[in-house]
Structure 1
Amino acid sequence: MSALEDPDAPNRGLTARQMAAYRFRRNPLAVIGAFIVATVFLAAMFAPYLAPSPESAGSFVDFRNRHAPPSWDNPMGTDNVGRDILSRVLFGYRVSLGLVVGVLGVAVPFGVLLGLLAGYFGGWTETLIMRFTDIMLALPPLAMALAITAVLSPNLINAMIAITLLWWTWHTRLIYRIVKGQMNEDYVEAARVAGASHSHILFKELLPNCFSAVAVKISLDAGFVILFGAALSFLGLGVQPPTPDLGTMVATGSEYMPEMWWQAVMPGLAILYAILGFNLLGDGLRDMLDVEL
């Protein structure tokens, strides 16, 4: 096959990391996803400077400008009390990303640790961990979250707790399957023969081989956590007004559909934009980190 027929021919001498980056750059959807995620993070980080009306993120009201349609002054229109929707969307991204960091920051390490222990030790450790995981997976996620947030007072912290109590199970199941498939590999047997401790095999040998799968899962999970948090807020069990939250904005705006459609549609599109970015990025990372490619 000639170099013209094989697009990877000029990159034969690259390292594995360079080839992975090359594959990522050649995937236009992955690049678009990375761009979307970057814009969401930048919008959240610089919301006070980018927002046309930063005071709209609080209890500010302007009844003379209520229900104003999209315009140059208010690109996404205003809500039922005259607050700029674009400004509230930018600050709402802060809440959504804070939820992602809080949930995955706890659920991922906990789930990965349980998956490592269950896959490596087997026996009663595997039975105890995986059967409990199966029980948690059998519970309807949204119903469980609704029950938890209904018992606790609705706010961002309790929404994080409700989602975290369910999210670790997916990472436990993922890591367990990977570790079980790696237990008979030569590098694990070599570490055992060399007298390596359990902790060394778990965290120095097995865990690094799970990083690519965990990275992809985190990217995909971020979009689902944003959607899950928005669903709780839509039902009134998440972040409470006047704190700007995308799910709450959709719920409030839906009361004025279809005449004032922008009050629900614009925050909904903001949710869709973030979820689309994280999913495209996750697919790109999966292709980039797939060693079989």
Structure 2
Amino acid sequence: MSDAKMLLDASDREMSAAYMMWYRYSRKPAAVIGTLIVLSAIAMAVFAPWIAPHPKDVGTVVNFRARHHAPELAHLFGTDQVGRDILSRALFGMRVSLLLVLGVLGISVPVGTVLGLVAGYFGGWVERVITGLTNVMLAMPPLVLALAVSNLLEPTLTNAMLAITLQWWTWHARLIYAVSKSVAAEDYIEAARLSGAGPLHILFREILPNCVSVISVKTTLDAAFVILLGATLSFLGFGVKPPTPDLGSMVAAGRQFMPDYWGEVLCPGAAVLYVTLGFNLLGDGLRDMFDVES
């Protein structure tokens, strides 16, 4: 009976903690708006082939009779220099940006997390090697390194992911290293070690759960920076290769026709703003929900 009561008390505490996190999150209108923006951006990217008014304009379509059309009912943001619908291409460009986020963070977050855990827990020469490598990589500006890699390789989405990922894992490694270093000094970690728990158990069952909140906040905020960096690479000509629509390359192509044909820049630029704003608001909401310090 006492065991059942203890289980009920533990369950009540977990529910209470979950409720408090949700309460802090829901009390932030900006966080709720950010969540809706991110979900809507994902939905638009996934269902782009069905909701885009002119999905065929994503490919190598040329219609010079319709070039530089002003915004109208058939083309809400007008057409570009070769007559393609700008809104349709922006929707597919949003898909490219989110795939870039998925690829970069899907690799850099696990790599950085594991290296940070190992450095913080083992210490010694392992810590010195990992932190030294991290500091060397952090000494190089992300954009400069990404431009160097992109300049050596063919401009594709995969190479853009590689260029950004080469430096992005370092931020997560440093963050998780600081958290794991602090947690590894706790008494319950020493108790787990004395009870016979192995390093893998301590790393992934004892220390990693304490890092979930900061990983979630950091990953969400990083998504916005990855989108901006990917758009910058494409804007400079080192991103996704045409005719694949990309928000940065669309802005670069449309700027030469400003201000007469403002829709060619406004639509992809607004798409970048929309997605990055959503991820930033969502990250702020998660930070408040987990009560993570800035």
Comparing 263-272 and 186-195, the one that deviates more? 186-195
Task: Confirm or deny: 8 A CA contact 2:214 2:292 kept in the other structure.
Answer: no
* Paired amino acid for 1:178: V
Superposition deviation, residue 14 in structure 1: 5.3
Partner of 1:217: 218
Q: Distance in 2 between matches of 1:14 and 1:83?
A: 52
Q: Counterparts of 1:87-126 in structure 2 under 5 Å?
A: 87-126=88-127
Superposition deviation, residue 228 in structure 1: 0.5
Q: Counterparts of 1:1-293 in structure 2 under 5 Å?
A: 15-290=16-291
Paired residue secondary structure (1:170)? helix
Q: Distance in 1 between matches of 2:265 and 2:216?
A: 32
Deviation by residue 1:169-223 (Cα, 9 ceiling, x = unmatched): 0000000000111122122122122121111100100001101100111100111
Q: Distance in 2 between matches of 1:226 and 1:26?
A: 28
Unaligned runs of 5+ in 1: 1-11
Q: TM-score, normalised by structure 2?
A: 0.93
Q: Distance in 2 between matches of 1:119 and 1:220?
A: 23
Q: Distance in 1 between matches of 2:70 and 2:209?
A: 52
Paired residue secondary structure (1:91)? helix
Paired residue secondary structure (1:15)? helix
Partner of 2:3: none
Q: Distance in 2 between matches of 1:67 and 1:274?
A: 26
Partner of 1:3: none
Task: Confirm or deny: 8 A CA contact 2:213 2:292 kept in the other structure.
Answer: no
Q: Distance in 1 between matches of 2:105 and 2:289?
A: 22
Paired residue secondary structure (1:281)? helix
Q: Distance in 1 between matches of 2:64 and 2:16?
A: 61
Unaligned runs of 5+ in 2: 1-12
Q: Distance in 2 between matches of 1:187 and 1:224?
A: 37
Task: Confirm or deny: 8 A CA contact 2:100 2:161 kept in the other structure.
Answer: yes
Task: Confirm or deny: 8 A CA contact 2:134 2:170 kept in the other structure.
Answer: yes
Structure 1 residues 55, 144: CA separation in 2 closer, same or farther (over 3 Å shift)?
A: same
Task: Confirm or deny: 8 A CA contact 2:227 2:272 kept in the other structure.
Answer: yes
Q: Distance in 1 between matches of 2:100 and 2:185?
A: 38
Q: Distance in 2 between matches of 1:34 and 1:224?
A: 17
Deviation by residue 1:135-187 (Cα, 9 ceiling, x = unmatched): 00000111111111101111111000000001000000000000111122122
Q: Distance in 2 between matches of 1:117 and 1:260?
A: 54
CA RMSD of aligned residues (A): 1.4
Q: Distance in 2 between matches of 1:190 and 1:163?
A: 40
Deviation by residue 1:88-113 (Cα, 9 ceiling, x = unmatched): 11111111111011111110100001
Superposition deviation, residue 13 in structure 1: 10
Q: Distance in 2 between matches of 1:288 and 1:20?
A: 5
Deviation by residue 1:211-257 (Cα, 9 ceiling, x = unmatched): 11001111001111111100000111110111010001000001111
Q: Distance in 2 between matches of 1:69 and 1:25?
A: 41
Equivalent residue pairs, number: 281
* Paired amino acid for 1:215: S
* Paired amino acid for 2:256: E
